[in-house]
Each structure stands twice: as C-alpha cells, then as structure tokens.
Structure 1
Amino acid sequence: MATFLKVLLQQRHLQTVAAFNREYDRHALKIDPAIVGCGPKKAQFYRWLSGDISGLPYPHHRRILQDMFPGWSMEELFQHHAGADPDPVLPRIVVAPEPTPGVESPTADVESVFPSRAAFTQRMPPQQLFERARTIDMVGISLNLMCQQYPEHEIYRLLESGAEIRCLFLDPAGVQIKQRESEEGQEAGSLSGLTALNMRALQRIGSSSPTPHGFLRLRTYDEIARFNIVIVNSVRCVVQPYLPLARGLDSPTFVARRSGTSGIFDTFAAVFEGMWVRGKELRQ
C-alpha cells in the first residue's frame, strides 16, 4: 500500500529518508529553526509512506508537511492511494485566501496556483480565458495557448470586435531558442520549427482579417526564456516559469489579478512591457 504522500514525494524524487530530511530541514529553517534535524527516522518515514500509522504525525511534522504541500490536508496526504499509476496526475489548486480589510495579504494579488499548464487549461481553457477580451499581451517561446489551442476563427472574432493583441515570440532564428531546445532535451530545430509555424499562422491572420477594428502585432526577442506571461484586459495575469530540464507544459502556473496595491500583476506587466520595447517587430 502507498499513501498520497509517497506518490507526491516520488514525483519530487524525495522518496528516500535522506532526501526527504534535507527538504524537511530546508522548510524548517524558514518556519522554525529549532526543529531543524527533527525529521522522521527511517522506520517512521517508511510508515508514513505505507500508511502503517495509527494517527497523524506530531504537530511539528504537520507544520513542515503543510508548508511542503500547500493545498493538501494531513488527512489527504495520509490517505491510501489505490491507483496503479505510480505517477498520477494530481491537480491540486491552491486558492489564495480572501484578504482581511486593513491587513496586507501574504499572497499579494495571487488568485490561484496550478501544478502545471495542463492543470490550468483544464480549469480555464483559452476559450474561457480570452472570452470578451479587449486586450491580450503574451510573451513566451511558441505561444501555443493562442496558436495551437485557440481556434483561428475566434482570433478573427476578437480582432473584428476591436481586441488589441500583442504577441512576443522567442526568435526561432536566434541563439536562445537553440539553448532551450538543448535544455529540454529536444531535437535541434523542434522548438524553432514550431515557433516559426505559429508565427506564420498569426501573420496570415493579421494580414487577412477583414476590416478589423482591433490589431494584431507580433514581435520576437532573443533573450533567455524565463517566463510565459499572458495578460488579459490589463486585469488578469497568468505566469509560468520556464524550468530547467522541463517543458513549459509541465511548469507551475500562477494566476494574479490586478489590485489596488503593488503585487505580482504589476511585476509581470512591467516585465512584459520591457521585453516588448526591446523586441523586434515582425511585418505581416
């Protein structure tokens, strides 16, 4: 038998007691340095993984586990996992708490957090994200959310309704896209070919859209790809980091909503604007 805790630790390659306790101490340093070194002993740890326990762990262990796995309750972590798949999809969504008036929220303006882009698009597909959009700003590598997952006729509809769309692609002929292909372990030319294909598709739409009231502007950049950013209506911001050795599809996704105070939204809106200014315009 195995618990959900075991499955989650396997996903993070922390299924040995030594690896787990290193991570335990890292969280303990942040929460309470007095409990550094107080992680579970070997026998106790493997009982946690098997579910061979009579009750929940001690309070200091629960504090660490809650910090390691936000969005999971202790009861859920120690439930038996009956699935045959040793690496199941476990989409946990962490929703930021409602702010208390007069008290600064520790989560700033973050609405929700998803473990991957796949989990995000399952909850919020592009048809829903871009519905009634008046402005869309995007920067990433290939921008598949717009170019592969959103129908062309919907892009035409947005443009005809007056939407203003700015798309910033990683230059398919640049240096950095080759570095990213190598980092992800992909064949040379795979990302650059997909990106060029997506760019041509949007160029065709931009040049053939019948009497659009809005506009579609395309640019490229040749910098290290750090984030995929989507900003809709200057209100909602979806951000993904590009992680080492991982595809963008597999990276955590953060959703922030513009608020009256400085927060995540403002940070990444400024990142987009800076990159857009530095970008190279594409003719349509």
Structure 2
Amino acid sequence: MGALHEHTAYSDGTYLTRPADVFQRVKSAGLDFAGSSDHSDNMALPLSVGRGDCSPEQFLDCYLFVDPDNRSDAFVKWKATQEQALAASDNNFTAFRGFEWTSDRFGHANIFFSRNIINAKTGPGYAVSMVRFWQWFTYPAQFGGGSDGLLSFNHPGREDAIESIVEGLGGDPGFTFNDFRYVAAADYRTVGIEVFGKGSEYDSDGPNGSWLSYALDKGWYLAPVGSEDHHDTRWGDADLPKTVFIARSRSRDDLREAMLARRFYAVAQNYNGIRLDYRIDDNPMGSRLRKKNG
C-alpha cells in the first residue's frame, strides 16, 4: 500500500518542501511506496507557487529557490526529483517520480515512470487540443516522448472552466478529456482513474453515478486510484486515500508491472486497512476477459 499524487513546493505545495520530504514521511508511516507528481507547469522554472506561511527573510527561498539547502535543484526539479526518489528507496520502500499534466479545460492526468516530461501550458494542450499530449505520450522515450510512462486520469469533472459557461448550450466537447474519447494508441499504458482524492470521493459525480464506469464504457481499461493529492505536509496519513498494488515485490520494476497490469485498487480515507484479492474464474485482478455475448 502506498501514497500517490503528492505535491511539494516544486509546484504548488507547502513552501520549502521537496519530494524528498514526501518520501521520508510516507516511508516513516510504514507504507510501501510513494509516487510524487508535482504539476508540470513550473517543473522547468526555478520558482514556486506554494502555499502556507513564508517569513520575509525566507522570501527568495520560498518563491524562487524552493530549497535553501539545495538551491541549484530549483533549476533541475525533474532531475532532482528522480535523484531524491532513488535516494529514498530501499528493500522495504520504493519512491518513484511522476508529474501532473494540467489543463483547466480537458483535465489533469498523472504520468508515472517516464524519463521525460511535457507541459500542457506551453502549447495547445492547455485549452485547444489534446492531440499534442497524446502524440508525446505515444512517441518513443529515447526521442523525448512518453512511451515509457503510465497514465492515470485525475479527479474527473473538476476542471470545468469552459464547461460551466457553455453547459446550457450543450456543453464543452473537451470537458473531461474530450468526454473520455478513447485513444487506441494510448490504451496499453493508460491504466487508472482517481475515485478518491484529498478527503473526498469523486466517482459518483460522474454520468449515471460513476466516472469510472463511464470511462470503461468509452473503451478505456482502467483501475481505480486512491489519491492523496496532498499540498500540505501530512503525506501518508491514514485519513487520506491510498492505492494498493498487488505486486511481486516493492521494487520499482514490480510496482510498475503491477500498475501496467491493472492489479491495483483504491481505498478511501480512514479505510487504509482494507485488502482485496479479486478474481473471476481464477483470472486475477486486471485480466482482460474474452467472453461470448451473454
């Protein structure tokens, strides 16, 4: 069991925090893994749009350098996050890097395990089209693409800046990832959707009572994610949702394999002790079943 979707001052989390703080706190809580995912918007910029208290004498460190002890990391946040993840990992705990692709029209998505990163706000992906994002996601990683990343749709339905204006006119066709339009080339590595996050339950706000079911009906093969989406410093606390992987070990490769196989599920806040082994005809969780009609 572990914590996914964590924010620090590398994007808009609490001032003077960094991914290493997330990993240390989640590890000390006795969890097995943590995946950080600061917003991609300012991962390439040496600044923070953090929150909390910042004294005048800490102004530069709060807003520009992020970390007074490692100021140069502010210029290489993506690389620094990987270094901090590797440093925090051992046989009993694995930290891994991700980022949150952020569009106020289409929605937010977490990408984990990729070596590269893309920013929605520096191209048409922010409000015009998701085409560039999907092209990046399916383009070979050795040439700067995201072909090694795994994607999870975040808090569906929350980004409605345009939808809320035109809903009475039939709605925005771009709302919730272009109405969860299926992208066959991305199917294999688009693995999850958040159903819990922060202290809330998201799923039942979806069409007919479930965003997860709606996305499945659109053609995606998704497992439910319990997301902390935490911007404070209580990463890993029991009153935040968690995700459980059914994996061979805690190693980074085995966690990624479990995620790719959809062998994971969400537990709500305050229900971190729940464990499930769900099978159909001896097929383990995540299996794609081929059945005749009926």
Please report the TM-score for the alignment, with normalisation by the length of structure 1. Answer: 0.33
Q: Which has the larger Rg?
A: 1
More helix per residue = 1
Please report the TM-score for the alignment, with normalisation by the length of structure 2. Answer: 0.33
